[in-house]
Amino acid sequence: MPQQLSAALAPGLGAASWPDFADTMLARMAALEASLIDIAVIQPAEPFLDMAGEDLRRRIFLTENEQGDSLCLRPEFTIPVCRSHIEQAFSTPRRYAYFGQVFRQRRQGDSAFYQGGIEDLGHADRPAADARAIAEALDLLAAVVPAEQLTVTLGDQAIFESVVAGLGVPAGWQARLVHAFGDADALEQTMARLASPPQTGLSDKTAAALVDRGDQAALARHIAAVMTDQGLSLSAGRTPDEIAARLLAKRLLERTRLSAPALAALKRFLALETPLSQATARLQAFADEVGLDITSALEPFSARCDRLAGKGIDLDGMTWRAAFGRPLDYYTGLVFEVSSRLEGAVLAGGGRYDRMMTLLGAAQPIPAVGFALWIDRIAAARSGS
């Protein structure tokens, strides 16, 4: 196994040394009923560029093949594991384990480093699968850093989306808020714009007047005429109809304001932080006080807590934070991280990503949850550095 991974390294990036605890971790993964999967180092870039989030997109190593297709060195495993599952047309439920190098531009450390993890696809009991993912991440860490004091932080994308929708945020702004979730600065900026959106204006006065009238057909004709006068193709890139629709949607967002009470309620929600054992009650109390119905998201949240407690996990020792997310665009529900209490380094992280499978081409929706282990940070924790 180590030799195969070393042989797969891309030239010039250097090889991270095979961790001394890798065999222990692989053996523990095998005991978790997960099939070890081999993922090619060179991957199509488009799925990562479409779904992985700005933070990851900025760090990808890109190249092209002879046909001009965009390729990249694999920056993570979740997307290629899911693509492999779909291409192989395997039945579900099915669990995959992986352990290998990923390649990212990093501020500190090598650009090639190891990750391990498990992806759990197709289990219909989502709360049980979520609880299992958290428990397995903790068990794997306990096997290789038994003396490390760990902290667990959880969030929930579905709860956030339910609150945003319940507050009457317009659909376009909902999408922007959801996209920003997990990035504190981006979320704060989006909320500020929602409270008082900037007026951008258009230098083309004819286009501006048509936008103000909401006349999409006339606006599209005007845009087509301008493009033709400038020698631009009407079929390369966005069409005049698409540009017109985008301008009208943008102007609608500019005119939208979130009411002061709704904005205050959203800020109040995002400030919630509590031990996981108290999170369901705190969320229900918040919903009752501001008049929201978040039952559809809160019931699976509560069931997940029950499943975790049933595994003997101390919910008092875990923190739920309303504003906590992870900087990847594909999460749809649970998000979590396990960190070193003393160093603060994130050793493991993951969550639920139910929408990804159909976006990658699956014929039917497939429930999915998983987690990744940051092997270089675990090695640092083991060495005490």
Question: Minimum mean pLDDT among 77-86, 125-134, 322-331: which range?
Answer: 322-331
Cα 307 to Cα 277, 304, 328: the distances in Å are: 12, 5, 26
Contact 80/119 with Cβ under 8 angstroms? no
Could you give phi then psi for residue 154, rounded to 5 degrees? Answer: -125, 150
Most confidently predicted of 37-51, 178-192, 227-241: 37-51
Quote the CA–CA distance of 124 and 129 in Å, as a whole number. Answer: 8
Which structure tokens are listed for 43? Answer: 């991957």
Contact 274/159 with Cβ under 8 angstroms? no
Quote the CA–CA distance of 366 and 52 in Å, as a whole number. Answer: 18
Contacts of 150 (CB under 8 A, 6+ apart): 138, 141, 338, 339, 340, 341, 347
H or E element that contains 103 = strand 94-103
Which structure tokens are listed for 39? Answer: 């993922």
| Residue 236 pLDDT level (bands cut at 50, 70, 90) | low
- Pick the more confident residue, 162 or 6: 162
Q: Mean pLDDT across the stretch 21-37?
A: 91
In this structure, the number of other CB atoms found within 10 A of the CB of residue 142 comes to 13
Quote the CA–CA distance of 208 and 202 in Å, as a whole number. Answer: 6
Q: Mean pLDDT across the stretch 177-199?
A: 78
* Residue 116: strand pairing partners: 99, 373
Domains located in the chain, CATH noted? 2-148+343-354+363-383 (3.30.930.10), 205-254 (no CATH)
Burial of 336 (C-beta count, 10 Å sphere; 0-12/13-18/19+): buried
So what's the pLDDT on residue 252?
63
SS3 97: strand
Question: Minimum mean pLDDT among 30-39, 110-119, 225-234, 258-267: which range?
Answer: 225-234
* Residue 94: strand pairing partners: 121
Mean pLDDT of the chain, nearest integer? 86
Could you give phi then psi for residue 71, rounded to 5 degrees? Answer: -125, 165
Question: Does 163 have pLDDT greater than 70?
Answer: yes
Q: Mean pLDDT across the stretch 309-321?
A: 96
| Residue 100 pLDDT level (bands cut at 50, 70, 90) | very high
**pLDDT, tens digit, for every residue of 31-42?**
998 999 999 999
Helix axes 157-166, 295-310, angle to 10 degrees: 160
User: Whose CA is closest to 44, among 96, 82, 100?
Assistant: 82
Question: Does 127 have pLDDT greater than 90?
Answer: yes
**pLDDT, tens digit, for every residue of 47-85?**
998 887 677 778 889 888 888 888 999 999 999 999 999
SS3 358: helix
